Amino acid sequence: MNEAEFITALRLLPLHPGARALADDCAVLTIGGEALVITHDMMAEGTHFRPDADMADVAWKLVASNLSDLAAKGAEPVGVLLGHMLGRDDARFLVGLHEALAAFVAPLLGGDTVAAQGARSFGLTAIGRATCQPVPSRSGARPGDSIYLTGPVGRAMLGFAGDAEHLAAFNRPQPRLAEGRALAPHVNAMMDVSDGLLLDSWRMGEASSVTFALEPNAIPVADTAQRDACMRWGDDYELLFTAPPAAPLPCAVHRIGTVTARGAAPLMLGDAPLTDPASLGYQHG
């Protein structure tokens, strides 16, 4: 199975209503007057980090990528649970883990540790408290909304390729937690850009049963000579969201398109309908 096929099969299992049909970044559990936001992400050697990567950077990115999902829900971190596979440079991993947890005020709640052979993988569950209800979803975009992005895409791609100016964007991304909390009361839909702007825009259009009409030249990219690659590469962790054109947005953002009634495809890039998500960004399998 590839990733999409496996997730489709998971939807046949008993699901909690808070799972949002496995079509969102996080689960949302309402307890009394509070909403808990829960997410889990993994990182695998050879896919998410190189075998010779500094394990402090790996730990930081593991935390940051999970907290980025909380940011897309306007949540503030409560704590994290770690799944750790023992191996080389565990002490460096702990250094990066401490730095990330301190920087983002996301204390460790517990987890599990294993010893195994082969390529390493790590998992992290992040738990947050929603600061705005209803909690934003991928599926709330409405025709007439404007589409926005909090910052440029492609910086992680350049950092992965060795560009010193953007190396930190790949090794130590910054989840947009403050921006997510500020934007949550004003948006109709929001998610973080982890698998590529085009693929994640396609997913939001599909989830909302609308078309995302993107204006290519309005999209901020880290390198205009590689605009197409910047829009597809991923690992940027900027926030992609829609809001009414007159919404009073509380932070600096880039308007990159318009939500329209569902047309030939969930995504239009200029005049071109994009119908095949497999070609738009990173997917496992």
Instruction: Delimit the domains of the chain by residue range.
Output: 3-130, 146-276
Model-wide pTM > 0.85: yes
Q: What is the pLDDT of residue 282?
A: 65
Helices first, then strands: H and E counts in the chain? 8, 12
Angstrom distance (rounded) from CA 189 to CA 241: 5
* Interstrand relation of 108-114 and 75-85 (parallel, antiparallel or unpaired): parallel
CATH class of 3-130: alpha beta
Q: What is the reported pLDDT for 232?
A: 95
Task: Name the class of domain 146-276.
Answer: alpha beta
Which stretches in the chain have pLDDT values below 50? 284
Beta pairing class for 254-261 and 267-269:
unpaired
- To the nearest 10 degrees (0 to 180), the angle between helices 90-104 and 55-71 is 30
The rounded distance, in Å, linking the Cα atoms of 138 and 73 is 10
**Interatomic CA distance for residues 116 and 209, integer angstroms:** 43
pLDDT digits (tens, 9 = 90+) for 130-162: 999 999 999 999 999 999 999 999 999 999 999
Residue 145, phi then psi, degrees to nearest 5? -60, 150
